Amino acid sequence: MNETNTPLQKHETGIAGLDHATQGGLPAGQATLILGQAAAGKTVLGLQVLARAIERGEGGVFVTFEESPGQVKRDALSFDWGASLLESNRWQLIDARPRLGVEVAGEFDIEGLLSIVAAAIAQTDASWVVFDGIDQLLQYQPNPRVAIDQIRQINEHCEDRGWTMLLTGKATGDSMAPAHLEGIEFLLSATLVLSARIVNQQLNRTLRIAKFRGSGHVTSELPMVIDAEGIQLPYHEALPSGGVLTRNERLSTGIERLDSLLGGGIYRGSSLLISGRPGTAKSTLAGSFAQAAAQRGERTLYVSFDELEGSYVRNLISVGIDLRAPIEAGLIYFLSLSAFASQVSEHFLALRRALDAFSPDCLVIDPISALLKAGAVEGANMATERLIDLARRRGITTVLTSLSGVQDPEGEATQGQVSTLADSWIVLDYNVRAGERNRSLSIVKSRGTAHSNQQRELVLSPSGVTLADVYEHGTEVLMGTARKARKIEEQEEEHRRERKRQQRRTEIEQRLAQVDQERQRLTSELEQEIVDSTETDYQEGVYREQIKQQRAPLGESSALHGDDDAHNDKGDPQ
Amino acid sequence: MSFPHQAGESSMPLLTLFVTGTAPRSQRARVNLAQMLNRIGRSDIQPYEIDLLEQPGQGITHSVFATPSLVKANETGEVSVLYGDLSDEERLSHFLADLARSG
């Protein structure tokens, strides 16, 4: 073959996640090695690829070298595509198990096998061929080198005939090839490795594209789920790209004052994380948001982890939030999931299917942190990230709650990536003071919004949820009774001050009046003084005159003058 | 989905050699088998030959996917299979031991 003129053609597998991760499917007209330990999903993968091919109108041949045909059929029937696969005549199941007790007396060829398969392909017009467990046949080859050559022969046969083949084999340890077939991974252009490991008592499935010559592909281990629909790579299905306009519309949280703190609510299509310790009213806020959405006539997918619909709805009624009516009206679809029951990737899959089925305007997950309890914990952050991404791409406004540790209300450690990914982040907490707990709310971040940095008190009552301004007292923030008490104290203080001021004013006025009186008194005293002194002067003048007149004939004498200093210098005769 | 059984195993000839055309290993098997039958004094047995290139359905019917393969059916219908070009004389003679004419 002239490979430079033959660009790599891909054959879609019909497994959306795998087609996405491989950018279009597996190499067409070639064999792809599927490696995995027992029960890793190799046979399922092969059957599912055939089932999907048959749905598209193609055909297939499944050659089983290990499981009995009955077992293969039972495998297929455990999936929802199994029955239609078994009914179809567009495929053939060939039982190529080596006979029991087979002996070997020399090397053998596989042309016979290929001839049998070619005949089956001709009958079914097959495009896909699955060789499930060919190592079971080739292990009888006395010389491993011959077995490896025969894999090459199979691959060349595929190229010549245009067959697209899945060649499964049992992985042994870390080896990239089945036992007896070391090195075949180098011969084939693509290798998928399936694994099923137990992590925290839970089965953790992954698929890895170990090799894909000439094609871009996702190289990391992809979390894999096997459920009724078969193999799924939940995080790797193509996401709707673009198309979602960034909207400036604000959606109410159902709490008027919170909306105003957020600059009018949260943006449509954005995500809000509400985190807090147990009992800080995370669910109340989430419920309030859903109720507000229902009042606008919008649809909300409401996912509750570990709490049943009945009790959840009832609990919210006690704070004036009614989800029952919108649930009955079909505006809220309540999905109750058990975190422990499944793996993170299975939860993700369930959520994605619910999003597909219900196509909501809003999504509430209470609490998203429950994913950390599910199996395959290391996938929780990825699941959350994908979920936020998925919702955003679909223009769904998302409210996630997250339970944080008692010691760590902002809980960076448990939040994982969520707080970074979410557009807005509200932290709820309680302050304990004066023998009571009071709920507080603060907005840690709100992208694209001037938001208040003030902590507020969250007040729950049967009539609903409100925010109260907290009382600042020096560097402290007071809430609840302390806030009320402090308020009353302050009012009294104010009164006291006012009274004091009044009193002082009165005092000053009184003093002023006193001073006025004094002034009047002094004025009149002054006047009296003037009158008095004028009189005295006059009397004195009169007296002097009299003396002068008496003395004049006898000459000058001051002997009778009482005021001696005024006259001494005049020369006292003594 | 699978080929219908065209022949029951009980109706099989005593020895059947599955081959693929003139492939070298098939050729060797023919020679090795003939020599061994001769050696054990059973050159009277004429092995029935099935060429899977021409009759692929026979491979499914008899569950033979490796060529060459020697299939032996005894009177009770019990079938045993020997894979390979029969170059391992010891294995081959052991496989055919019950057919050997003592003497």
Q: What tokens does A539 get?
A: 């009397």
Closest C-alpha to A386, from A274, A192, A223, A217: A223
At A485 the pLDDT is 76
Contact present, A81 and A46 (Cβ < 8 Å): no
| Residue A391: both structure tokens together | 């919702």
Radius of gyration of chain B measured on its C-alpha atoms: 13
DSSP letter string, A222-285: EEEEEETTEEE-GGGSPPPPS-PPP---EE--S-HHHHHHTTSSEETT-EEEEEESTTSSHHHH
Residue A489 CB neighbour total at 10 angstroms: 11
Distant-in-sequence, close-in-space partners of A362: CB < 8 Å, separation ≥ 6: A251, A289, A290, A293, A298, A299, A300, A301, A396, A397, A398, A399
A337, β-bridge pairs? A305
List A residues 54-93 in contact with B (Cβ-Cβ < 8 A): 69, 86, 89, 91-93
List CB contacts (< 8 A) between A99 and chain B. Answer: 63, 79-81
Closest CA–CA distance from residue A111 to any residue of chain B (Å): 7
Half-sphere exposure of A90 (CA within 13 A, CB side): 18
Domain ranges of chain B: 9-98
The domain defined by A250-469 folds into Rossmann fold (3.40.50)
Question: What does pLDDT average to in each consecutive run of 10 residues of chain A (574 residues)?
Answer: 63 90 91 89 94 92 94 94 92 91 92 93 90 90 90 92 92 72 83 84 84 84 86 76 66 88 86 86 91 93 89 90 92 88 82 89 88 64 80 88 67 58 84 77 80 77 79 66 76 86 87 86 86 85 83 56 49 48
Superfamily covering domain B9-98 = Glutaredoxin (3.40.30.10)
Residue A336 and residue A307 in contact, taking contact as beta carbons nearer than 8 Å: yes
A111 contact B CB<8A: yes
Distance from CA of B21 to the nearest CA of A (A): 9
Q: How far is CA A236 from the centre of its chain?
A: 20
Pick among A108, A146, A153 to test the B interface (most B CBs inside 10 A): A108
Q: With contacts defined as CB-CB under 8 Å, which chain A residues touch B79? A: 99
CB-nearest to A116 from B23, B56, B70 is B56
Interface check for A188 against chain B (CB to CB < 8 A): the answer is no
In this structure, what DSSP letter does residue A79 have? S
Are the C-beta atoms of residues A470 and A456 closer than 8 Å to each other?
Answer: yes
Instruction: Kindly provide the b/e burial profile for residues B67-82, where b requires at least 16 CB atoms within 10 angstroms of the residue's own CB.
Output: bbbbbbbeeeeebbbb
Residues B86, A105: C-beta atoms closer than 8 Å: yes
| pLDDT for the residue numbered B50 | 95
CA distance B58 to chain A (A): 9
Does A108 contact B at CB distance below 8 Å?
yes
Q: Is A113 on the interface with B (CB under 8 A)?
A: yes
**What is residue A241's predicted lDDT score, i.e. its pLDDT?**
56
How many other C-beta atoms lie within 10 A of the C-beta of residue A67?
A: 17
Distance, CA of A564 to chain centre: 110
Please list every residue in chain A whose beta carbon sits closer than 8 Å to the beta carbon of residue B18.
112
Sign of CA dihedral A554, A555, A556, A558: negative
How do beta strands A266-267 and A250-251 pair?
antiparallel
Cβ distance B65 to A104 less than 8 Å, yes or no, reads: no
Position B7 pLDDT exceeds 80: no
Strands (E) located in A96-173: 103-104, 126-132, 164-170
What residues in A contact B60, CB-CB < 8 Å? 94-95, 116
Give chain B's mean pLDDT: 86
Do the beta carbons of residue A423 and residue A272 sit within 8 Å?
Answer: yes
Q: Which CATH number fits domain A8-236: 3.30.365.10, 3.30.110.30, 3.40.50.410, 3.40.50.300?
A: 3.40.50.300
CA atoms within 13 A on the CB side of A383: 31
Q: What is the reported pLDDT for A508? A: 87
Whether A402 contacts A366, CB under 8 Å: no
Nearest chain B residue to A110 by CA distance is: B66
List the one residue out of A89, A168, A136 whose CA is nearest residue B65: A136
Q: What is the pLDDT of residue A376?
A: 54
Which A residues, 151 through 180, put their C-beta within 8 Å of a C-beta on chain B?
A: none
